Amino acid sequence: MARSTISSAKPLSKALYTPEQRVRRDATKWTLVQGILAPIQFLIFLISLGLVIRYLLSGEGFVIATWSIVLKTLVLYTIMITGAIWERVVFGCYLFAPAFFWEDVFSFLVLALHTTYLVMLFGGLGSPEQQMWVALAAYSTYVINAGQFLLKLRAARLDERANAMAISSASGSRA
């Protein structure tokens, strides 16, 4: 009875970037912009999360917690706009490129919850505690979405490492 084997020559999954997309990704300034904004947003998130939790536990620091959420939301909007530009440059569409489809879908939930917080804040809707709980819901979706993007970044690095090894072994076998 013949045993089936998986050929190591075939990739198990589709590469995140085509060679042309990789060149565009590496050449555009928007990659650097995303690389700078993402850790800034995460730092603001951590500080804001601490301030929101402090307010919910002690009732102190509403104003600073509120400003931190507004700042986090503005940075989120900025990174979403620049990310859409980055997708346009790299993939040819502003959003929902196949490589980042589910990350973009979930990003809209993140945006919706952050925007809901702003509507509540500026519309005087809900109690301060309710507003903070909406912010925490927004933050929980942000953490999931950030995790999605970190997994994509890792996948891209692994893909590039595999490509480099394939090129290296192919050129070594010609000798």
- What is the number of other CB atoms lying within 10 angstroms of the CB of residue 103? 19
**Residue 10 belongs to a domain:** no
* Overall number of domains in the chain: 1
**Residue 86 belongs to a domain:** yes
What's residue 8's pLDDT? Answer: 45
| pTM, entire model | 0.81
**Residue 87 belongs to a domain:** yes
**Residue 14 belongs to a domain:** no
pLDDT (average), residues 153-166:
76
Burial of 88 (0-12, 13-18, 19+ CB in 10 A): middle
**Residue 1 belongs to a domain:** no
- Residue 171, pLDDT > 80, answer no
What's residue 66's pLDDT? Answer: 99
What's residue 114's pLDDT? Answer: 98
**Residue 7 belongs to a domain:** no
Between 3-7, 39-43, 68-72, 108-112, the lowest mean confidence (pLDDT) is in 3-7
Domain housing 153: 20-161
What's residue 3's pLDDT? Answer: 46
**Residue 156 belongs to a domain:** yes
**Residue 12 belongs to a domain:** no
